[in-house]
Amino acid sequence: MKYGIPLDSIPSQYAIGEVENIIMKAYEAENPDLFIVEGQGSVSNPAYISSCIILRGESPKL
């Protein structure tokens, strides 16, 4: 994987920004037409809070 972050090792208060940051780096370097952002868990399962972080971080302002 060329662009990725170990989300479970990042403090939660910084995780959304880190997701947005890696997406912006990929956008600037590759200029893709489409992004596929994946993670583990389920948005509806409270045991996997990282999915909510991914959903918020994957919507940067371009």
Higher pLDDT, 9 or 61: 9
Query: Does 22 have pLDDT greater than 80?
Result: yes
**CA-to-CA distance for 61 and 39, rounded, in angstroms?**
21
| Structure-token match 């090792």, residue found | 9
**pLDDT score for 44:** 66
pLDDT tens track for 32-62: 998 888 776 666 666 666 677 787 787 766 5
The torsion angle over the Cα atoms of residues 23, 13, 61 and 27, rounded to 10 degrees, is: -10
More confident position, 18 or 8 = 18
Q: Per residue, what are the HEC states of the chain?
A: CCCCCCHHHCCHHHHHHHHHHHHHHHHHHHCCCCCCCCCCCCCCCCCCCHHHHHHHHCCCCC
